[in-house]
Amino acid sequence: MQPHVANIFIDIIPDMCFVVSGERTVLSYNRRAREVLGLPEVPDREIFFYDLLTDDSPRPLLPVLRTMEGAPEAEVRFRAPGGGVVDALLFIRKIRGPEKEFLYVIARDVSEEKKKELDLLRFSNVVHYTVNPIQITDARGRMIYVNPAFEKATGYPKEELI
């Protein structure tokens, strides 16, 4: 028996995709969700969507179910195999079936972006709070940033230097 065309289509989407019932039970998910979250090929038990999330993660599905319009996005944290965490941005859409309502949830993994943001914040704090004077210039040699140590060393406030 050949796989259904809809299943093939959902499996080629690079983000995690879920079809969730009004009771917030996961009815279907794609290959990416299986790979990232370690889910079985076919659900072998009832999976409650919120059980896939960490305890400290927001629970964004209920507000979408209660209203006609869905929240376009929400940020959550999925439990990953081995105790890891996957930060994800959810795009949630309500779908009305003939008898029931469903949610189509696309989860974009933003873990790498979060890591880069944290690294950039750390670097920024190191530059700003170091005791060494630091100035950053643009390609034309104009100062675009000076840290407090540079202001102290030169005796000029950053507003005059930049």
What does the pLDDT look like over 98-123, one tens digit per residue? 888 888 899 999 988 888 988 899 98
Q: Are 110 and 89 in contact (CB under 8 A)?
A: yes
Question: Does residue 68 or residue 158 have the better pLDDT?
Answer: 158
| d(C-alpha 161, C-alpha 139), whole Å | 16
Structure tokens at 117: 């943001």
CB atoms within 10 A of CB 145: 16
What does the pLDDT look like over 35-70, one tens digit per residue? 999 999 877 889 999 999 999 988 877 666 555 555
Does the model's pTM come out above 0.75?
no
